[in-house]
Chain A
Amino acid sequence: MDFELPPHVIEFRNTVKRIIRDVVTPEMIDEMHTSGTFTNHTLNRALAKEGLLERAVPGMGMGDPLELWVLFNELEKAGAPYDGISTSIMVAGVVQQVGTDEQKQAMIPTVVSGEALVCMGYSEPDYGSDVASIVTRAVRDGDEFVINGAKMWTTMAHEAKWLILLTRTDTEVPKHKGLTMFLLSMDTPGITVEPVHTMGTERTNATFYDNVRVPVSAVLGEINGGWRTMAVALAFERGVMGGTNVAVPMLRHFRKWAAKHIGDDGVALIDDTLVRERLARIAIDNEVAKLLTQRSAWIAASGGLPGLEGSMTKVFASEAYQKAVRWCQQMAGPAGLLQFHEPNAAADGWIEYDSRHSPVTTIYGGTSEINRNNIAERHLGLPKAR
């Protein structure tokens, strides 16, 4: 195997690193934690200005497909606000793959210029893991569809220009076969957004659809082909576009703090043998999470759709992160309880933040159990258990 990135991808990575150095300030990161909105217009524009966003869109052919992974991996390691732009680039890739020319022309330039964000409406109040059972209805009315229903966890809906929306268009067929995805503007009359605040500070939303009228041309993919469009989106989401190396900045923050934190016995925390063993194990898991992510990116770059590999990556990385967070908060002792800006907070408050953030990572984008079902059925060949 060859683990060396091609020279043009290394150059791309260096450009991302330079922009992060120039643009991402502690104040910017602070603002993201205060507002709960994990996106930043200045950063998005700076990335767009150097052409990095258009290069990262899957299937556009502007850059090496590995660059999608490189872009979000660097932003993630820096702790930068990238949730908005990662979702948007990923959906731009879906539009590139299954959208009409009209949709591509309307939507992709607004995203790759760093001006517009996209939010995703899949889950509903009553349907999360069983997303194929959603009940938001889209009913054909001449050249239009009329949409009624409600969605949960529509993160960035309060900032986004675009929405991709999973609806039910046929109730007479098996549940996976009656779904249709739409791409529409958040300006469309009939959409309302209500904030949902979370333990991890991140703001998400509930969104409501009241007689929302869209033209037939707003269908993304095929009518009743919404499940396939979802599969494309999920293959990008799980394991390529970020969320798999969150423990890297956490280890960095903890390690730096532990080197300065001297215990009652005069020994620095970093010199404690148990701490060292655990930090080494976190570093090993970080390397493996990176390799699994790289494999997904490499498969995508070689023309494949890494759905199953993405499931593996997501399960491993999110669970390793949770284990690492639990260790770090415990090892920090009472200092691990203190929040950002409190004196003597472990790792300047990062450990406490990670402890609040980590629970969601085994839930969003497909729970660990749903991903394990995928692996058991499609990789191990075991019978369907549901």
Chain B
Amino acid sequence: MRLGLTDDQLAIKEVFAGFFGKESTPAVVRAAEPGGFDPKLWRRVCETGAPGMGVAEDAGGGGASLGDLAVVAEEFGRSIAPIPLIDHQVAARVLARFGGARTDVTDGETLASFALRPAVNGSWWLVPGGSVAGLTIGLDGDELVAVESAPPAAAPRNHAAQPLADRSTAGARTVLASGDAAHAAFDRALNEWKTLTAATLVGIGAQALHMALDYVQSRIQFGKPIGAFQAVQQSLADLPIAIDGGRLLAHKAAWAGDNEAAGVDGHLDIDDNDNSNFAVLAGMAFVFNADGAAHATDRSLHFHGGYGFAEEYDIQLFYRRARGWALVYDDPARECGRLADTMFGPRESVR
């Protein structure tokens, strides 16, 4: 048992904290709105190897575990970088797993995206990274496919400030898997996406807390910093609990995912609170951190007072993304319904 980061992960954290802190400043984030994509930042992140970091070494990637990727994701979230990094990493891993690793994808030269919902009538709806990706991976009926096509020029303006777009299943199409294997591969990739998004949301929440602490210690009212008032302190004290708990949960999901990939099946006994099942932990991490980041940014914005609502202040950037980057998938409450199906069994008395 080890509930802290390894030395290697601490080194990864330092590198990416430095990278995103320098390259993805609030000014860069703002300049990329409303489309939510900064091509220059993408080129820079490609130089770090992050896009193909999670691809197996024998497929030409960095061989990083999900646990390592979760460390990168938290730093990515802390800087709300305007690039679809998680979506690309997940897509690149799917390609490599099915023998289709492509150097241009591993390097990030071609941007890949992962459709979070199966295609309906030949279209994947609101694919994250969809407005900039040349390659879309998604489920189409009983096939998991990779479709190469030119991305649309623009993203619909959206609360997440993400490069979203509907994408067609038509184009240069490669079938990666069919039948049960396709559904299993899709589920696996979606669980990876939920896990890494959960870690991203931990970063957003942690940064929102950091900004709140800076503000409440410098803002003077009634002759003292507002952070000296107990009403403010008590409310802020909740945030590190949710952030630390959420980080542990995201890392536990990543650990279960790495075990699953190594052929070690998870275990699920909710009655005994004994759970190492990847799908369940990924869903839990998504729900808990979607709520946690929404709450942390809400409190941080609130304690900025009217300035928090002003466009000029940065906290509103985090507030919108804390909600948007989770909701590009779905309502956490509906995810709870899916978790219930796995944990408690199907709804047998309802016909």
Q: Which residues of A contact B (CB under 8 A)?
A: 1-6, 9, 66, 77, 245, 248, 251-252, 255, 259, 262, 266-268, 270-271, 273, 276-281, 283-284, 286-288, 290-292, 294-295, 298, 309, 312, 315-316, 369, 371-373, 375-377, 379-383, 385-386
Do A1 and B255 touch across chains, with their CB atoms under 8 A apart? yes
Q: Are A376 and B233 in contact (CB under 8 A)?
A: yes
Distance in angstroms between the alpha carbons of A292 and B238 in the assembled complex:
14
Determine if A284 and B287 form an interchain contact, defined as CB atoms under 8 angstroms apart. Answer: yes
Interface membership of B216, Cβ < 8 A: yes
State whether A382 touches B236 (Cβ < 8 A): yes
Task: Contacts A287-B281, A291-B252, A312-B244 known; list 10 others, CB within 8 Å.
Answer: A2-B1, A245-B273, A255-B344, A281-B287, A284-B284, A284-B287, A287-B273, A369-B234, A371-B237, A375-B237
- The answer on a CB contact under 8 Å between A382 and B216 is yes
**Closest CB-CB distance, A249 to chain B, in whole Å?**
9
B340 part of interface (Cβ distance < 8 Å): yes
B58 contacts which chain A residues (CB < 8 A)? none
Q: CB within 8 A of A280: which of B246, B343, B349?
A: B343
For B349, the chain A residues whose CB sits under 8 A away are 262, 266-268, 271
With contacts A1-B2, A66-B1, A268-B348 known, is A283 near B252, CB below 8 A?
A: no
Measured in the bound complex, the distance between the Cα atoms of B348 and A276 in whole Å is 13
Asked if B306 is at the interface of the complex by the 8 Å CB criterion, the answer is: no
Picked from A251, A315, A385, the residue with its CB within 8 Å of the CB of B228 is A385
Over the window 206-249 of chain B, the binary record of Cβ atoms lying under 8 Å from chain A Cβ atoms (1 yes, 0 no) is 00010001001100000011011110011011101110111011
Q: Top 5 A-B pairs ranked by shortest CB distance?
A: A276-B340, A376-B233, A372-B237, A280-B336, A291-B248
Task: List 27 A-B residue pairs with CB atoms under 8 Å apart, sorted by A's residue number.
Answer: A1-B3, A1-B251, A1-B252, A2-B1, A3-B3, A3-B255, A3-B276, A248-B273, A271-B349, A276-B347, A280-B336, A280-B340, A284-B336, A288-B248, A292-B248, A295-B248, A298-B3, A315-B238, A372-B237, A376-B234, A379-B237, A379-B240, A380-B213, A380-B240, A382-B217, A382-B236, A385-B230
Beta-carbon nearest neighbor of A76 in chain B? B273
- Contacts A290-B273, A291-B245; is A277 near B340 (CB within 8 Å)? yes
Distance between A322 CB and nearest chain B CB, rounded to angstroms: 14
A383: chain B residues within 8 A (beta carbon):
224-225, 227-228
Number of B residues with CB within 8 Å of any CB on chain A:
55
Given known pairs A4-B1, A77-B273, A266-B349, the reply for A376 and B228 (CB within 8 Å) is: no
Give chain A nearest CB distance to B251 CB in angstroms.
4
Contact of A283 among B228, B230, B343, B348 (CB under 8 A): B343
B337 close to chain A: CB less than 8 A: yes
Q: B155 to chain A: closest CB distance in Å?
A: 31
Nearest B residue to A286, CB-CB? B273
Cβ–Cβ < 8 Å partners of A369 in chain B: 234
CB-CB contacts below 8 Å: B308-342 with A: 333, 336-337, 339-340
CA distance A298 to B347 in the complex (A): 39
Q: A291-B252, A292-B248 are in contact. Are A248 and B272 (CB under 8 A)?
A: yes
Q: Judge whether B67 is part of the interface by a CB distance below 8 angstroms.
A: yes
Q: Which of chain A's residues has its CB closest to B334's CB?
A: A277
The smallest C-beta distance from A227 to any residue of chain B, in angstroms, reads 22
Instruction: Please name all residues of chain B whose beta carbon is closer than 8 Å to the beta carbon of A245 when the two chains form the complex.
Output: 273
The verdict on B350 contacting chain A, using a C-beta distance below 8 Å, is yes
Do B236 and A385 touch (CB < 8 A)?
A: no
- Bound-state CA distance A327–B246 (Å) is 22
Spell out B's residues near A (CB within 8 Å). Answer: 1-5, 67, 209, 213, 216-217, 224-225, 227-230, 233-234, 236-238, 240-242, 244-246, 248-249, 251-252, 254-256, 270-273, 275-276, 281, 284, 287-288, 333, 336-337, 339-340, 343-344, 347-350
**Alpha-carbon gap, A381 to B67, bound state (A):** 30
Q: Is the CB of A270 within 8 A of B238?
A: no
Query: Which residues of B sit under 8 angstroms from A281, Cβ to Cβ?
Result: 287, 336
Q: For the complex, give the distance between the alpha carbons of A268 and B336 in Å.
A: 18
Give CA–CA (A385, B225) in the complex, Å. Answer: 11
Provided the pairs A283-B270, A380-B240 are in contact, do residues A291 and B234 lie with their beta carbons within 8 angstroms? Answer: no
User: Shortest CB–CB separation between residue B234 and chain A, in angstroms?
Assistant: 5
Chain B: minimal CB distance from A8 (Å): 12
Q: What are the residues of chain A within 8 A of B343 when measuring CB–CB?
A: 279-280, 283
Cβ–Cβ < 8 Å partners of B333 in chain A: 277
**Complex: how many Å from CA A203 to CA B337?**
40
**Docked pose: A45 CA to B259 CA in angstroms:** 39
Known: A245-B273, A277-B336. A267 touches B237 (CB 8 A): no
Closest to A6 in B: B1
List the A side residues contacting B229 at CB < 8 Å.
385
Residue contact B249 to A255, C-beta cutoff 8 Å: no
Would B241 and A375 count as touching, CB distance under 8 A? yes
**Cβ B234 vs Cβ A380 within 8 A:** no
Closest-by-CB residue of A relative to B209 is A380
Nearest-neighbour CB distance to chain B for A79, whole angstroms, equals: 12
